[in-house]
Structure formats: C-alpha cells, structure tokens
Amino acid sequence: MRALTDQEMKTVLDKLANYMSDLKSLIAPLEDGDRYVFRLNHSRVYYVKLSIANLATSISRDALLSLGTCLGKMTKTGKFRLHITALPILAQGARHKIWVKDNGAQPFLYGSNVVKAHVGRWSEDCPEHSGCVVYSMADIPLGFGVTARSTAEARRLDPTGIVCFRQADCGEYLRDEDTLFAG
Amino acid sequence: MAPTRTVKNKHAASKTNGAGSKSSKDGGITKSKSRSGSKANVKAPAIQVKGRPNIPGLDKNKTKKQQRVYTEKELGIPELNMVTPVGVTKPRGKKKGKVFVDDRESMATILALVQAEKEGQIESKMIRARQMEEIREARRAEAEKKEAERKAKLEETKESLRKKRKRHGHGNKHDDDEDTSLKAVTATGTKAAKPKKKRVSFAAPE
C-alpha cells in the first residue's frame, strides 16, 4: 500500500471531477482532526481515513485485501476506471443527475443504458458526454453513466432513444462479485 | 595420536610439506617477501617510432585536434525508434523513484488545478452546445419561413387562375356552370375518371 504519485492523483481527480462538482470536500479536514487520503494497493485506489491507513501499514501488501472505500482501478495504461463502490462518494456531490422511473430502474440495474422513456426527470443544462449519477425516483443512487445527449437534444428524442450510457450500476455487486474487490 | 586431516588437494598438501618444516614452525603462516625496487619500479624503455620524435608536447596537440562528436539533438535529426522507445528514456541526473503526494497542501493544489481545468472544459462544452442549439433554431425558423412563403405563392397563383377564369366568362351561363364545377373540384379535389371495367365472357359451348 502506498500513496499516489502526483500523476496518478491527477488522473484520479480528473475522473472524479467528471461526476462531482465539489472536490474540495473530499480532502477537507474532519472534525476530529483526521482527514481522508488516497491509497493504492494492487492497482486499486482506496479512499480512506488517514488514521486507518496508518494502521493498515502494519499489514503486508499481499495480506491486505481492502481498506476504506475502493474508488476504482488504475489500468496498465495509466488510466483510471471508477467502480460501482465509488457511488456513495460520487452521489454526495453529483454534478448532473438523472432520475429514472420505477419501470426503468430494473433494466438499468441489469446493465442496460437509460432510455428516454424511463427518465423521470433530469438536471437542466446538462451537456452531452458528461458524467451523471442515476437515481431512482425515491432519490436512491443506482449507478452512474455518461449522458448521450444534451438536455435540449434529449427533449426531442424519441422514447426509445438512449439518454445515458451506463458506466456502473448497483447490479454489479452481484454480477461482478468475484472480481469487484480482488483479482 | 595426531588427529587426521582431510586434504582436498593432495599435491598442494605435499608441496607445503615438502617445502620444509619452516612454515610449520611459524604456525602455518607464510610471509611473502616483497623486493622493493625490483620489477615493479622498472620503467619500460620508451619505444621510438620511426620518423616520429618522442616529444611529450606533441601528444597534447593530438588530443586537441580530436573531432567533435555531435549528439542527435544538436544536429536536429528526427528521432527514430530504437531499443529504448523515444518516450521511455528518462532524463539523466534525475532522482530515481516515485514522488508521492500525501500532504494536504500539494493535494489541494492538484485538486484546484484539476477542478479549474474541468470547469473550463465543461463551460466551453456548454457554450458550444448553446451555440449549436441557436444555429439549429435559426435553421428551423428559416425552413419554416420558406415553407410558408412557398405556400403563399401557391395560393396566390391559384387565386390568380381563378380570377382569370372569372374574367373570361363573365355572364355566360355555360361558363358559370363550369365555374361552379371548378369550385367543386377545388373543394373536393380532382378524381381520375373511372376506367371502364373490363368484362370477361366465355363463349357458350355449342
């Protein structure tokens, strides 16, 4: 387990900035004097309290399975891929949001994109190809994706047209159970 | 009885034994006698090359004249792919290893940098989207206008045709009938005249 290099940090924050509007809250000091840090272990990036990260130094790299919240994985080409486990953090400060109706929640959780007919409402002034967090109508975050059309364009779209390309959904907790945390 | 010793190299052992009892007397330690001022200090005689005087000053001139070797960067030669790819070569003299970012200040700096960059990107995207939307709107309005113009023109020609017909046959009953029929046609639209139904009849058997 190690801290991130400046290049890695930039890549991770860049990806997070696609979905979140306020990044500063991520590293803001907590009331008890602690703060959150990013740690890398087995090419996975974890978002963890500094005190816990310091405790984890007593565990060898191989033995350490996970700590804190796994944000995603650094690929071998140096890119960063967000995992569904990062959803609670993304949902805190989501830049753009899409609420899907109840009839659209299941298809989304099974891994399909969001079509216009399933959209209950969406945030205004959303450009195309920008990250958005998908919520159910009861404001429960279901996953995240990338908008296929801008809000204005999506209004003219036919009901079967794709509005948001899925990136991750809560169904992955079951579908990718084996590979999500290790391997 | 003396303890038996295993000797790996028989010949070496015999040699030492044969060399004399002197070494054994000293406790097995042999001192190599160094002869001071013997072979090591003797200078090799200077070899004189035929036709060249052996003057030390001349050698210096020779090194000065050595041709300068230019690096590829100095010559401006385009870089080629070699065993180590172009991008991979690391600058010399730089410290090895990774530089970690763990303190709050540097993290905040990177964060601010990234956020500003992203905000700029999104802002430009929005502006572009808005401009595109405006252009599309303008195009649509223009197309609608053209359509309306075309329709108006068509109506005008229709109207003029009607007027022409009216002027030609003023007071003529026959023409009046025709006019009414024309009106009916314009109201209901023209229909193609029904073609006569083809009939098929079979020859009666005789």
* pLDDT over 50 at A113, yes or no: yes
Q: How many domains does chain A fold into?
A: 2
pLDDT digits (tens, 9 = 90+) for A12-47: 999 999 999 888 888 888 888 889 999 999 899 999
The span from the CA of A123 to the CA of A98, in Å, is 7
Confidence band for B22, pLDDT divided at 50, 70 and 90: very low
CATH number at residue A67: 3.10.450.220
Judge if A66 and A124 occupy the same domain.
no
Residue A98 lies inside a defined structural domain of this protein = yes
pLDDT digits (tens, 9 = 90+) for B49-87: 555 556 555 555 555 678 888 887 788 877 776 776 666
Residue A180 lies inside a defined structural domain of this protein = no
Judge if A109 and A132 occupy the same domain.
yes
Cβ of residue B114 closer than 8 Å to a chain A Cβ: yes
Give this complex's ipTM: 0.83
What pLDDT was estimated at residue B173? 52
Judge if A58 and A30 occupy the same domain.
yes
Judge if A67 and A99 occupy the same domain.
no
Cβ of residue A28 closer than 8 Å to a chain B Cβ: no
Domain locations along chain B: 104-169
Range of the domain at A112: 90-174
What pLDDT was estimated at residue B80? 72
Sequence-ordered list of residues with C-beta below 8 angstroms from that of A171, at least 6 positions apart, any chain: A109, A110, A111, A143
Cβ of residue B116 closer than 8 Å to a chain A Cβ: no
Q: Nearest-CA distance from B129 to chain A in Å?
A: 7
Residue finishing a domain among A54, A82, A110: A82
Residue A181 lies inside a defined structural domain of this protein = no
CATH number at residue A103: 2.30.130.10
Residue A179 lies inside a defined structural domain of this protein = no
Judge if A62 and A96 occupy the same domain.
no
Cβ of residue A25 closer than 8 Å to a chain B Cβ: no
A-B contacts (CB, under 8 Å): 61
Yes or no, beta carbons of B100 and A3 under 8 Å apart: yes
Residue finishing a domain among A82, A104, A135: A82
* pLDDT over 80 at A174, yes or no: yes
3-state SS record for chain A: CEECEHHHHHHHHHHHHHHECCCHHHCCCCCCCCCEEEEEECCEEEEEEHHHHHHHCCCCCCCCCCCCEEEEEECCCCCEEECHHHHHHHHHCECCEEEECHHHHHHHHCCCCEEHHHEEEECCCCCCCCEEEEEECCCCEEEEEEECCCHHHHHHCCCCCEEEEEEEECCHHHHCHHHHCCC
**How large is the average pLDDT for residues A96-118?**
94
Judge if A13 and A53 occupy the same domain.
yes
Judge if A150 and A120 occupy the same domain.
yes
Residue A66 lies inside a defined structural domain of this protein = yes
Residue A183 lies inside a defined structural domain of this protein = no
Judge if A34 and A70 occupy the same domain.
yes
Say which of B112, B113, B122 has its CB closest to residue A127.
Answer: B122
Residue finishing a domain among A56, A82, A108: A82
